[in-house]
Structures are given as C-alpha cells and as structure tokens.
Amino acid sequence: MELTRIQHTSISFISSFALRCAVDLDISGRIREHGRPMPLNELARSIPIPPEKDSMLLRLMALLVHQGYFVQSEAGYQITPLSEHISTEGSDVGAYVRLVTEVQLLKDWDRLSDVFKDTSKCTLIDKLYEGKQFFEVVKEIPKFGNLYNEAMASTSKSLMRGLLARYPHIFEGIKSLVDVGGGTGAAVRIIAEAFPTLKCTVFDLPHVVENATKTDFIDVVGGDMFQKIPPADAYFLKNVLHDWADEDCIRILKQCKEAIESSKHGGKVIVIDIILDSENDDPKAVETSLLLDISMMCLHGSQERNKQEWHDIILGAGYSGYKIYPVQLGVYSVIELCP
C-alpha cells in the first residue's frame, strides 16, 4: 500500500537511531561475549538497565530482530553476521553508525528544500557554519573530527579485506604506494600486512595524520593533496574523490599523474569509489549509493558519479586509459587508472 511505503520512508530515521542505541549499549558485544543465546533479562542486567525498562528493551530488540541484526529463539538472542560488524570486538562499523547519527551531521536536514531554493550555490554545512567547507568543520570540532576519522577507519576494514581477497594482483609488483587522503592509515595497515615488502605511506591533512602510527613499513606524511603529493609508483584514493567537485578531482588526479611520471618505475592510480550506474543487482546497494549521493551534495557540494562522469574526469586529468573491475565491493567499485 502506498501509505505504508510513505510511512516507512518517513519513519526510517528511527531505524538509524535504534541501531545507534544498539551500538551505544553494545548489545552485540554483550550477546557475543555471553557465548550462547542470551535471555532478555540477562541482556538487560548486563547493560545494566533497571528491570522496569525490560519491556522497552524487548521492543527495541523486536525491531532489531526483524531487521536481521539478531535472531531470537526461546533460549534468547544471538548475533548475526550483521551485528557481528557492530560489536566493539568485531570490525566495529559502529563508529560509522555513530558518525551518521551525530548531531553535527544532522543539523538542518529539515531545511534541505532551502538549499535548492537558495540562489547561491551552498551546502547544508556552509549554511550552518558560515561558508566553511566540510573538512574545515571537521578540523575545528575535534570531537567530531575524531569520530569522523574513526568512522572512516572502521568502514575500511571489511572493504579492504574484500578488495585484497578479490583483486590482490592490483598491488603486485608495486614497490611504493601512497594512500592519498588515507585518514589515520586503516587501509594502508591492511595493505602493508598483505604485502610486507611494499613501502606504504599514509598521506592526509597534518591534523589527521597526527593520529596515524608510523611503523617500519608505513610512513606517515601530512600535507595538502592539492599542493604536493609524496612520490611513489602507485596512488590509492579510497572514498576521496566523491568529496570533491569535478575540477578538484581533476587537480588531485593530475598531481598523482605528475608524481608517477617523475618516478622511475612508472605506475598507476587505484580509485575505490561508487559508480552510480554500475550493474549492481543488490537493490539495497543501489539505494545506499543514491543516499550517499544526496549526502555528498549536502555536505560537500560534491557527488557520486556514473561511468560517463568518471570517464570525463579521468581523461580530463590527462590519463591515457582506465579499467573498471567487474566485481563490486558492496557499493564500491575499483577503477585502475593508467597515466
């Protein structure tokens, strides 16, 4: 029924906050630690919540069971592969859940229509924070910045494992790699583990790489990718270009190309980002990509891109060609650029 679909979409924000509540109470971690099906009252006492609120927890769990985060039997609740990802002990995509339900990101979404009507080009962020760009706001509010970096790192883990399992050859034969906009180095740590002889560098804004750990195999460099990128054979740009308008993407890709051309070994650029019209037969992935596109529009004034838009950017930056890998990693695609 149409009304039900409209009600469902309108009220879906409650799903986000129910999931956030599960993350904050570490429901998944508690059930996991219990080691066997966990009855409601034991779950409630472990949090702990007062007994008179057990019925509230029952209702929260009913929604989360319905959504596939937990299974319920007479013996109690058990985790599923979904909730495995939000336990503090698991790969902890919980940080991502906390980020997208964070008040700094939610402000003013009720006034989205104003962004359309406003004659000056603007995003929700620059309306709220006096013309500042998203990454300036991230820098100025350390609590938000830390959460942002933690959330980005948390989504890296399962994605990078999928990438290395499916396409290890992308990294074979490379001697040095820079993760441009690599945050606090989560992706590079996983690459370095898989390819111990590869010299990896995490490169990001100086205040971000302050939280990255330098090791024997991983160098840490702070800077601005629009100014200068450290030399390497290969550049890795995961979830970076979608933050930027076309002309900025072209500038970033040109920086990488120049750096590769000055290296003795030749090289490539590996982009991990969404391709909107790629053949993804998972309707959830398609919808997630479209939601992320609106999010990019509102927060950064940027966008997710279709194949033609990627083609124009890559060739616009002077690359001779590129290859899109057929298997997607959730919503993400892999694009390999040849200088």
Q: Closest residue to ligand SAM, Cβ-based?
A: 181
**DSSP string computed for 147-195:** HHHHHHHHHHHHHHHHHHHH-GGGTTT-SEEEEET-TTSHHHHHHHHH-
Binding track over 147-166 against ligand SAM, x by CB under 6 A: -----x---x----------
With CB under 6 A as the contact rule, which of the stretches 210-218, 232-240, 290-298, 324-332 interacts with ligand SAM? 232-240
* Side-chain-side CA neighbours of residue 3 (13 Å): 0
CA angle 115, 118, 122 (to 5 degrees): 55
Nearer to ligand SAM, 57 or 237 (CB): 237
Tell me: does residue 226 bind ligand SAM (CB under 6 A). Answer: yes
Asked if 301 is part of the footprint of ligand SAM (rule: CB under 6 A), the reply reads no
Q: Does 238 bind ligand SAM (CB under 6 A)?
A: yes
The window from 67-75, 164-172, 177-185, 262-270 that contacts ligand SAM (CB under 6 A) reads: 177-185
Find the catalytic residue in 207, 242, 265, 300: 242
- Our CA angle for 301, 304, 310, nearest 5°, is 115
Give the residue, chosen from 129, 135, 144, 217, that forms a contact with ligand SAM under the rule CB under 6 A: 135
Cis amide bond preceding 326, omega within 30: no
Distances in Å between the Cα of 225 and the Cα atoms of 136, 198, 204, 235, 253 are 15, 22, 8, 12, 10
Closest by CA to 183, choosing from 215, 139, 148, is: 148
Least CB distance to ligand SAM at residue 163 (A): 11
Please report whether residue 145 would count as binding ligand SAM according to CB under 6 A.
Answer: no
* 204 sits near ligand SAM (criterion: CB under 6 A): yes
Is 183 a binder of ligand SAM (CB under 6 A)? yes
Q: Is 85 a catalytic residue?
A: no
| Phi, psi angles (nearest 5°) of residue 201 | -130, 135
Q: Can you tell me the distance from the alpha carbon of 49 to that of 65, in angstroms, rounded to the nearest whole number?
A: 20
Let me know: does 192 contact 185? Beta carbons within 8 Å: no
- What minimum distance in Å lies between the beta carbon of 49 and ligand SAM? 34
**Binding to ligand SAM by residue 94, rule CB under 6 A?**
no
Binding site for ligand SAM (CB under 6 A): 135, 152, 156, 181-183, 187, 204-205, 208, 224-226, 238-240, 243
Catalytic positions: 242
